[in-house]
Structure 1
Amino acid sequence: MKQIVLIAATIYGGLSVVLGALGAHALKKVLTEAQLQSFEVGVKYQMYHAIVLLVLGFFLSFDTRLQAIMGWSFITGTLLFSFSIYFLSLQTVLGANLKFLGPVTPLGGLLMIVGWCLLLVHVVKVIK
């Protein structure tokens, strides 16, 4: 699990840099201001959670169920949240109706919140 967390962290981090550059340059010409802002939210949250996963990957062993569920919550939540935002922002450029992805974004956000809550539980256990 530790390796999965670290690999996800590096992939999410690298992709957020690439997608951030894409948004700052190429997409500025084809997206509305609102679409671009949404896209940037996805990039920011992806990078924030890449850093969280990287730190957790270096400091936790992931040998407990709590840690494993925490890791999967962050990984899955980030994927669902950020990538649904990317596709929703790009649907006009892609020429596709992707509105069905709308409910995926809050589900991803909920999973990220679950990850943070589980991290809080872990921290409270450690500092006791």
Structure 2
Amino acid sequence: MGEPNPSTPLFRSVGRNLQGPLLWRSGAILAAIGIITGAFGAHGLRKRPGTTPDSIHAWETASHYAVFNGLALLLVSLHPRFAAHRFAGPAIGIGAALFSGSIFTLILAKDRFKWLGPVTPIGGSIMIAGYIALAL
């Protein structure tokens, strides 16, 4: 079969690559977290005292990004060349977790974790770098 190259079919067995299954599981967990937090945002978060329309919007954004990036990791894990990429998949997963997780924490914990504010754009930047790495 040889090493994957640009002409490698999109959905072929990943083979002995151990990172593919980890990316698959990470993607599934991230998508599930996005769905769970989205449901909480639509129902439970609105009932919390002090919840503003801005915090609801930020929560929805974080939930959507978790689902989208979870689905992206599922797809990346299936591609023999990209599943073996040392940077792209982990960067997408870690970046998405930092981005969405910091928003969830900032909204739920209000003033207790203000130091997490800069983590959101750092996570977003890591996530973007992962996608750019796929393109290179």
For the criterion TM > 0.5, the same-fold answer is yes
* RMSD across aligned positions (CA): 1.2
Q: Once structures 1 and 2 are overlaid, which stretch shifts more, 77-86 or 31-40?
A: 31-40
Report the secondary structure of 2:112's partner residue. Answer: coil
Match of 1:84 in 2: 102
Structure having the higher Rg: 2
Instruction: Say whether 1:109 aligns with 2:109.
Output: no
Give percent identity, aligned residues only: 30
Q: What is the letter of the counterpart of residue 133 of structure 2?
A: L
Matches within 5 A, 1:1-128: 1-30=19-48, 31-61=51-81, 62-63=83-84, 67-92=85-110, 96-121=111-136
CA shift for structure 1 position 60: 2.9
Match of 1:124 in 2: none
CA shift for structure 1 position 90: 1.2
Cα distance in 1 between the residues matched to 2:112 and 2:78: 40
User: Can you give the 5+ residue segments of structure 1 that lack an aligned partner in the other structure?
Assistant: 122-128
The structure whose residues are more often helix, as a share, is: 1
CA shift for structure 1 position 83: 0.2
Equivalent pairs counted in the alignment come to 115
The alignment's TM-score, normalised by the length of structure 1, stands at 0.85
